[in-house]
Structure 1
Amino acid sequence: TAAHCIGSRTYRVYLGKHNLKNNNEAGSIAISPARIFVHPNWDSYRILNDIALIKLSSPVKLSDTIKPACLPNSGEVLPHGAPCYVTGWGRISTGGPLADILQQALLPVVGHSTCSRSDWWGSLVTTNMICAGGDGLLSSCNGDSGGPLNCQNSDGSWDVHGVVSFGSSMGCNYPKKPSVFTRVSAYMSWINNVMTSN
């Protein structure tokens, strides 16, 4: 998930959720976290290293509705225009209501050289981030934070390349202000270290 989603409250992790309004949804379970690991270099002022790991308190039985996500190779950078999908229960429009049913949007990757241009995100975006979208039509929005940017491999499998981090205060789907994600492939050694030592 995103580091900026983690505070002092008590959390529950829901797996297999589709409709948030349905409290006893078939195929979904809730598990309490055993421990939460926020990246040691998380910088909330500059929104750097916006990533955290949640260790579940019990093993999970995989099913039709619960499957593990695949992660990219360390250092892998997607080309400009690569088709990826963001999913979440965040606002369905700027200032609009939150979604009950899981939403998805196709967001093409915006290469770092474009995204870091002064009329786009400028120096706010680092190479440890992924930009996607920016057409002014589709984007992630408030409430999508911590959710995945899934991109399909040539063999048909999907990797979580990004974690929803931030967007524009001028509006969720503002032109030249694509959704910004933490680039998962930049953190694979940290992820693997935390998982093996815990």
Structure 2
Amino acid sequence: NGMEQLLTVDRVIVHPNYNQDNILEGTDLAILKLSNRITRSAAVIPICFPSSRVNVALGSPCFFTGWGKVFTNWSNGSLRMPKTLREAQIEMGADLHCQQSSPKFSQVHSSCFNTEGRSPCSGDSGGGIFCPS
């Protein structure tokens, strides 16, 4: 549809502490170095990494993307792999809530979000969450 750009990846930089046997450590991510610059457009805008830690206000809108599984039938739990990249909007939540509901929650490796039925699934891991500022 003219909105996509096909780019070549020059290098994949995997987190130095990545362990495929323990993806719950928060290190299941990589940076892709592209061979060429992207061409900015209404549909293609680079995401910038902050130069230091950024505090996102409670309730702020954030987005996650991925090619993870999606439900096809909620009643029986049927899942399928999507053919296109998916996106969902969520909002920043309180870490205390996540700590109380999940004893393994770590503020060092994780953030807490209110998903209201929209959440990453198998295959979305490492995809990132983006909070406009």
**Cα distance change of structure 1 residues 41 and 59 upon mapping to structure 2, 3 Å threshold:** same
Normalising by structure 2, we get a TM-score of 0.72
Structure 1: runs of 5+ lacking an equivalent: 1-24, 154-198
Deviation at 1:102, TM superposition (A): 4.2
1:62 is aligned to 2:62: no
Unpaired runs of at least 5, structure 2: 72-76
- State the match for 2:120 in structure 1: 140
How far 1:36 sits from its partner (Å)? Answer: 0.9
Provide the residue aligned with 1:21 in structure 2: none
What's the % identity of the aligned pairs? 27
Within 5 A, what are the aligned runs for 1:1-198? 25-44=1-20, 45=22, 46-93=24-71, 95-117=78-100, 120-133=101-114, 135=116, 137-153=117-133
Cα distance in 1 for partners of 2:64, 2:26 equals: 20
| Higher RCO (Cα < 8 Å, 6 or more apart) | 2
Q: Is the 1:89–1:103 contact (alpha carbons within 8 Å) kept by the matching residues of 2?
A: yes
Rounded to whole Å, the distance in 1 between the matches of 2:113 and 2:46 is: 23
Conservation of the 8 A alpha-carbon contact between 1:41 and 1:48: no
Q: Which whole-Å CA distance do the structure 2 matches of 1:49 and 1:148 have between them? A: 11
Root mean square deviation, CA, Å: 2.6
After superposing the two structures, state which structure 1 stretch, 84-93 or 52-61, moved more. 84-93
Kindly indicate which of the two structures has a greater share of residues assigned to helix. 1
CA distance in 2, matches of 1:42, 1:126: 18
Once the two structures are superposed, residues 119-157 of structure 1 have per-residue CA deviations (whole angstroms, 9 ceiling, x without a partner) of: x2212434231122354x22122233333422232xxxx
How much has 1:53 moved relative to structure 2? 0.9
- Tell me, what secondary structure is at the counterpart of 1:130? coil
